[in-house]
Amino acid sequence: MRSIEHFINGQRVAGSSGRHGEVFDPNSGHVQARVALAGADELEHAVATAAAAQADWAKVNPQRRARVMFEFKRLLEANMDELAALLSSEHGKVHSDARGDIQRGLEVIEFSCGIPHLLKGEYTQGAGPGIDVYSARQPLGVVAGITPFNFPAMIPMWMFGPAIASGNAFILKPSERDPSVPVRLAELMIEAGLPPGVLNVVHGDKDTVEALVKHPAIKAVSFVGSSDIAQSVYALGAQHGKRMQCMGGAKNHGIILPDADLDQAVADILGAAYGSAGERCMALPVVVPVGEATAEALRARLLEKIPTLKVGVSSDPQAHFGPVVTAAHKARIEHYIQMGVDEGAELVLDGRGFQLPGHEGGFFLGATLFDRVTDAMTTYRDEIFGPVLQIVRAETFEEALALPSRHAYGNGVAIFTRNGDAAREFAERVEVGMVGINVPIPVPVAYHSFGGWKRSGFGDLNQYGLDGVRFFTRTKTVTQRWPRGGAVTDQSFVIPTMR
């Protein structure tokens, strides 16, 4: 059986803790690999290696660091098919979606190639008599990232791209469910010219997460996962004086106004709700039609289109989505489907019991559709994270606006309409961090930033973009004076001013 090792100081390192996790093939249900779980020794090795490498890496000028990122970008593109196949084999998402996972991470690497410009500080000449002031952004030192299973390529690159380009050393703790791609990314970074030790990958579980967050040598931690864990990790990091950035869960809504292009909206909703088997924090699991006529028309079109979706193995180019990541996660989704029935929602299409011929042991679910869901239901309030779409009917624009605004999560929302005034008002008033207007999955481009509100995000700075550079650097401001002619100024015992 294949063994997945840590990656420390530029090479794969076998685990010494004696603890291992199982990595499944979601298409068959079989265990395909064992991943080493770190103990104290591996973690200390990674931190010490990163600290030793960071000092020299920070001295490398930004332009040369950018050249490493450029070469890494080239290697990602050259190895895209290999990486996508490896990703699909452990996660279960179809190859086209796996390539998208890698591509969105690659775009943050492209952004990070501009680090010489992004690190430029500010300068004021003559801020006072003979006084100049300038500021510079400097790396923090050793930083860490803790990433989820659903985007094993994209989210690690969201984090380590800006962090490493800014002069930090990085320790990545990826999900133990699909850990192979993060290790390959680290190997490609070494091939691109990154010095050994600057990027390390340490596998682990809850114990490893807590040890990383508490470690005195780690200055900042970026985290993506469920909201309860994000809040817990954020609190633990704050307790230990860390700079923290913790992204949580979501329950994104799609608002359908009566004037929307319904055919286009349905096409968008199908991909956003069922793509990647719903295992996206930016999935669109709730659709809110405004008015009974809109709701009935939407339901009819969904009932027409959903049965045409093909569920298949991740290597099937015709499949719209593949299996979910583990048997435990499949059982969790099925539990929520039954809960929806018990709560009184109308189960229009039931994805439970789906089996793919020849892959009966795989972790497959069919597309599920609920109608007449209310905001009092647990299945509406909770993040299901599976191929389950819920229709929540609204009578008015105001009622539709209120649903995502008062929800505990505030990650993303979309509105479908031809009315620019309504769209503008919705975007201005809705209490959600990322808004799409006729865009079902409003993940910002790499030179903006990603982040939700409320229980979708803990911390003041978002992922990637300028916020990513700010998170992984700190500002140093210098006020300087060079007296002319050796003149001595009078003593002063008041606070200095620039009068």
Cα(26)–Cα(325) distance, rounded to whole angstroms? 6
Provide the sign of the torsion angle of the four alpha carbons 451, 454, 456, 460, taken in this order: positive
Q: Tokens 């489907």 correspond to what residue?
A: 337
Cα(171)–Cα(47) distance, rounded to whole angstroms? 7
The amino acid at 313: V
Q: Of the listed 281, 324, 337, 389, which one is catalytic?
A: 281
Q: Tokens 């481009």 correspond to what residue?
A: 445
Q: Which of 134, 142, 405, 389 is nearest to 284 (CA)?
A: 389
Strands 409-410, 122-128: parallel, antiparallel or unpaired by DSSP? Answer: unpaired
CB count in 10 Å sphere of residue 265: 25
Beta bridge partners of 284: none
Cα(320)–Cα(302) distance, rounded to whole angstroms? 15
Query: What are the Cα distances from residue 2, in Å, to 5, 32, 215?
Result: 10, 7, 31
Contact 390, 380 (CB under 8 A): yes
Q: What φ, ψ does residue 89 adopt, rounded to 5°?
A: -65, -25
Contact 97, 275 (CB under 8 A): yes
Cα(308)–Cα(303) distance, rounded to whole angstroms? 9
C-alpha 54, offset from chain centre = 25
- What is the Rg, in whole angstroms, of the alpha carbon atoms belonging to the chain? 25
DSSP 64: H
Cα(368)–Cα(385) distance, rounded to whole angstroms? 12
- 113 flagged as catalytic: no
Cα(395)–Cα(434) distance, rounded to whole angstroms? 24
Cα(236)–Cα(244) distance, rounded to whole angstroms? 9
Positions marked catalytic? 281
